[in-house]
Amino acid sequence: MATEPGSSGSSKRSRPSLKDVAARAGVSRASASRVLGGYGYSSQEIVDRVTEAVRELGYEPDRIARTMRSGKSDVIGFVCADISDAFFSSAMRGICDVALREGSQVIAMNTDDQLSQEQQATRVLLSHKVDGIIITPVSVREHGHIDALTGAEVPVVSLDRQLSDIGIDSVVADNEAATAAAIDHLISQGHRRIAFLGSVQREEPPALRIGKVRASVVGPSRPSLDRVRGYLRALTAAGLPVDRGLIALVPHGEPERRLDAVAAMLALEHPPSALFTADSYMTKSAFSLLSKRDIPIPEQMSLLGFDDLEWTTLVRPQISVVVQSAYDMGRAAADRLFAQISGSSGAVRGQRTVIPARFLGRDSVRSLG
């Protein structure tokens, strides 16, 4: 087929512009801009004509220009500790479902639980003019970069970590109560020596205070510490002594020490009859080591974990767990964020939303009668 000089048979059509939309709709550029920007008054007839022109031409408005006009980007950010973790991927799904309902998109930023990466992520999202940010903060004490967001009037919601005491809305699971209920179940099955194994943040380690009468943990409210609190609460309420040797707190960034912690429990002169693993990483480590050593579950060692991951139902025995709905937590955080963005959340900031968790009994806990 012949082509005209200077043309190409494979050339692409130029992207339709606002001017093209206005011409197709038979209105001025200003009228088309008002309809697409959602500001000012336009008659229903004009709205229908412009909408039809957009559909026919396949017009996609320039996001940057639209943001400058309306002050909204229709994009929110999600800053999380580890997107490969099933908890955060499920929370991400909940956030995205709400964002879709609101006509927005989500930019996810992974921090590997590193404060410097989290600080950089918030700067990047701020530069992209996002409408709001959901964040799982590495530190609940060092949050100057989050204060900077609120200072710039960017709506913020904290997920899985509590920042409500500094005026940031937070969505958390009921970690302390859920853990206490799980330990209560072990106690009801006759277990008296119950080990607690959990991962903690290196930047904010807990301080355990164990006396003859009472035991407590000092530190900021975050999932790992609240689960320790639930463990201590259940033992104290049952009149059982708290043995420091049955508590292992491993820095989150040192995964090789998880297996060592489980091995140390098994090597005790008076080992526990049950292991309570306070996070998915520790549950996997405990199951792995018990399987490697051919220690039968639950005949020789009961195992109860926190978080209902898919693999816990694929192994034998299936693992008893505490279930927290990361999806519901993500949805609740996104609902709260969009309420702030729309201005319908009211003047009160720093609200704490608690999503209930529940115990799910399977086959990995033995009754000692």
Cβ pair 49, 81 in contact under 8 A: no
| CATH 1.10.260.40 in the chain, residue ranges | 18-70
Question: pLDDT tens digit string along 250-304?
Answer: 988 788 899 999 999 999 999 999 999 999 999 999 999 999 999 999 999 999 9
Identify the pLDDT of residue 10: 41
pLDDT at 298: 97
pLDDT in tens, the chain (369 residues): 344 444 444 444 577 888 888 999 999 888 887 777 666 677 888 888 888 888 888 877 655 455 545 457 789 999 998 888 889 999 999 999 999 999 899 999 999 888 999 999 999 998 888 999 999 998 888 888 998 888 888 999 999 998 877 889 999 999 999 999 999 999 999 999 999 999 988 777 778 888 777 788 887 778 989 999 999 999 999 999 999 999 999 988 788 899 999 999 999 999 999 999 999 999 999 999 999 999 999 999 999 999 998 999 999 999 999 999 999 999 999 999 999 998 875 656 789 999 999 899 999 999 997
What is the pLDDT, as a whole number, of residue 275?
A: 98
Query: Residue 310: which of 336, 284, 330 has the closest Cα?
Result: 284
Q: Where in the chain is the domain with CATH 3.40.50.2300?
A: 75-173+327-355, 175-325
User: Which two tokens mark 305?
Assistant: 């974990």
d(CA 270, CA 265): 9
Strand residues in the chain grouped as ranges (E): 75-80, 105-110, 132-135, 156-159, 169-173, 194-200, 207-210, 215-218, 247-251, 274-277, 302-306, 320-324, 352-355, 357-360
- R_g (Cα) of the chain, nearest Å: 27
What is the structure's pLDDT at 152?
A: 87
Instruction: Give the max Cα distance, the chain.
Output: 96
Confidence at residue 2, expressed as pLDDT on a 0 to 100 scale: 40
Instruction: Give 18-70's CATH code, choosing from 1.10.260.40, 3.30.499.10, 1.10.760.10, 3.30.300.130.
Output: 1.10.260.40
**What pLDDT is stored for residue 253 in this prediction?**
76
Instruction: Give the per-residue pLDDT at 1.
Output: 38
Q: How far apart are CA 163 and CA 355, in angstroms?
A: 16
Closest to 103 (Cα-Cα) out of 168, 38, 170, 55:
38
pLDDT given at position 42? 79
Three-state SS for 166? helix
pLDDT of residue 39: 60
Domain 75-173+327-355: which CATH number of 3.40.50.1370, 3.80.30.20, 3.40.50.2300, 3.60.21.10: 3.40.50.2300
Question: What superfamily in CATH does domain 175-325 come from?
Answer: Response regulator (3.40.50.2300)
